[in-house]
Amino acid sequence: MSKPSGQALPTLDPRDWDSHPKHIYEGYKSTVKRGPTQSLIPLKASLGELRQPVYGHSSIGELDHDLTRNARRNGEPLGERMILTGQVLDERKRPVRNTLVELWQANAAGRYVHKVDQHDAPLDPNFLGAGRCLTDDEGRYRFLTIKPGAYPWGNHPNAWRPQHIHMSLFGQHFGSRLVTQMYFPGDPLLQYDPMVTGTPEKTRNRLIADFSLDVTEDGYALGYQFDIVLRGADETPFENR
Active site residues: 112, 151, 161, 164, 166
Say how far apart CA 58 and CA 66 lie, in whole Å. 17
With 0-12 / 13-18 / 19 or more C-beta atoms within 10 angstroms meaning exposed / middle / buried, residue 35 is middle
Q: How far is CA 53 from the centre of its chain?
A: 18
For 146-199, the DSSP string reads EPPPPEE--SSTT-EEPSEEEEEE--SSGGG-EEEEEE-TT-TTGGG-HHHHTS
Positive or negative: CA dihedral 49, 199, 28, 228 = negative
